[in-house]
Amino acid sequence: MLLRLAWRNILFYKGRSLATFLLTFCAALLLIFYAALMQGSHRTMLHSNLGIYTGALQLQHQRYQEEGGSEHLIFGAAHWVDLLRRTPEVTAVSARLETVGIAASRLASGAVVLTGVDFSAEADLSALQKALKSGVYASEGLCLYVGSDLARKLEVGLHDELSFIGSAPDRGFVAERFEVCGIFKTGLYDFDLNYAFLNRAAFDTLFRTHDTASVIAVALDDPLHAEAIGARIAPLLEPHLRLYPWQELLEDLLQMLSLDKIFGYVSLGLFFLVIFFVVMIYSFINVSSRIKTFGMLRSIGMRQRQIDIVLLLETLILSLGALALAAPLGGFLAAWFELHPIIIEGIAENYKSYGIVSDAMPTCFDPASILRQSALILLLNLLSILYPIGYLRRFSPTEAMRHV
């Protein structure tokens, strides 16, 4: 009987019911799509930073990140590379040796991180090969593979020469002239501005290094398990070595994404606070205009608790009806724009320092997230009817019947 009465009221007060339905539908659709867009952009930023160069795990001397220096290198790197490659979840391993120096052309100079790498190993681990913009990727001899922003800063192009002076692991200095044989562009601004790569054979000859690495990067088939895999390998390492999961290596980025998510939900929360009060006002108007009707129902034996249930059922029916349309439509939009991302021209250039590497803004289809957003809207709507119910309870049956 109460459910039938709730349906009758919804159909009788069509205008107010439709307004509540549309407000709920629009609010839910916006929240679902906004959450999908925010998750998609954050996932893209994280995967860009993780997949371009960082790797899922990095083996380092435990003091290398804080202090650097030749005394904190990994010696006997081939042994550790072989150990990591034998781990079932590992898909690629690359031993890198970095040094910092000054590079100069005839027109400009600047600091550069010169890194000796095995280009074939990097092709399986990082996006360096895919980022090739011009020239060749796996060059031999004294040929550099430089970032596009570094090339622009130093005002050099393909086949131009660069002079380099930097420190060697034996605490000496190395000075040499290199040819620019390749230019890459990953989209990560700081990376493209500071890094240049040299094939490992030439690097070892020039810097008198052998079987040494500053960092051994590791790719996994599932980066989400990096911490667990690292913990399993850790007992096999020497005490001064440590495997860093990407969660630690990209800690600053993760904090920035968390902060951005908080600000995003705060901004959206203000909007939904307005929606909440609008829905509550409509509910209040709906209830206050029917006070006399509710008074008559109570005078013929209907309890106040039953009236409360009728009002809750009205809200529940309208909310579930709106969510039944908004959730599938929001999910469809999230899935569609995950496959066909929104293109915002120039966004990568404007936000490149934050890890935006493409003008594409994909969404993320996450059924659990859609259910959470739908549940939030349902909860807000149910809360919005509590004040009108409390207001109605102030009237006795006699007062309600005399209400105008």
Whether residue 21 sits in one domain with residue 74? no
Walking along the chain (404 residues) 10 residues at a time, the average pLDDT comes out as: 75 79 87 86 73 85 77 88 91 91 90 92 88 89 92 92 85 86 86 92 89 90 87 90 86 76 78 77 77 77 80 87 93 88 63 54 86 88 84 76 66
Which of residues 202, 217, 239 is at a domain's end?
239
Please name the residue that has the structure tokens 């060697």.
168
Whether residue 220 sits in one domain with residue 128? yes
Please name which of 97, 118, 103, 180 lies closest in space to residue 143, comparing C-alpha atoms. 180
Whether residue 204 sits in one domain with residue 139? yes
In a domain, 244, yes or no: no
In a domain, 58, yes or no: no
Which of residues 239, 265, 299 is at a domain's end?
239
pLDDT given at position 246? 84
Angle at the Cα of 73 from the Cα atoms of 67 and 74, rounded to 5 degrees: 140
pLDDT given at position 293? 77
pLDDT given at position 324? 94
CA 227/CA 105 separation, integer angstroms: 43
Whether residue 220 sits in one domain with residue 258? no
pLDDT given at position 150? 93
Record the tokens describing residue 191, joined without a space.
Answer: 């990376």
In a domain, 376, yes or no: yes
Whether residue 235 sits in one domain with residue 266? no
Residue 106 and residue 114 in contact, taking contact as beta carbons nearer than 8 Å: no
Residue 320: give the domain boundaries: 2-50+253-402
pLDDT given at position 350? 53
In a domain, 248, yes or no: no
pLDDT given at position 404? 56
Which of residues 187, 216, 239 is at a domain's end?
239
Strand bridging mode 360-361 / 342-343: antiparallel
In a domain, 245, yes or no: no
pLDDT given at position 130? 86
Whether residue 180 sits in one domain with residue 270? no
Whether residue 373 sits in one domain with residue 281? yes
Whether residue 67 sits in one domain with residue 44? no
Whether residue 199 sits in one domain with residue 274? no
Please report the beta strands in 23-70, taking only residues with DSSP state E, as ranges in sequence order: 57-61
Report the domain count for the chain. 2
Whether residue 80 sits in one domain with residue 40? no
Whether residue 278 sits in one domain with residue 356? yes
Whether residue 374 sits in one domain with residue 306? yes
Please name which of 80, 113, 114 lies closest in space to residue 95, comparing C-alpha atoms. 80
In a domain, 247, yes or no: no
